[in-house]
Amino acid sequence: MIVVNVKENESIEKALKRFKKKFDKTGVIRELRRRQHFEKPSITRRTEVIKAAYKQRMQEQEGK
């Protein structure tokens, strides 16, 4: 549970901004979206390998 204490002379907008920042750090929305559709572990690993190979190719091109 996220708790945001509103200070005495603080505006609601600032308190809401602090709440949103804390909420984003928890990663609830990302986790919810990830769990909406089941993905087999083999597919997850395959996509990670493809992403890693892509990043490596991009770094090699920068080095030239």
pLDDT tens figures, 16-38: 999 999 999 999 998 999 899 99
Q: Which two tokens stand for residue 17?
A: 């901004």
Phi and psi angles of residue 27, each rounded to the nearest 5 degrees, phi first: 75, 25
Cα–Cα dist 30/42, whole Å: 21
**Position 57 in a domain:** yes
Of 23, 17, 21, residue with least CA distance to 1: 23
Q: Determine the pLDDT at residue 63.
A: 80
**Position 7 in a domain:** no
Q: Does the model's pTM come out above 0.85? A: no
**Position 38 in a domain:** yes
pLDDT grade for 42, boundaries at 50, 70 and 90 = very high
> Into how many domains does the chain fold?
1
**Position 37 in a domain:** yes
For 36, the enclosing helix (H) or strand (E) is none
What range defines the domain where residue 56 resides?
12-63
**Position 17 in a domain:** yes
Q: Which two tokens stand for residue 24?
A: 């984003």
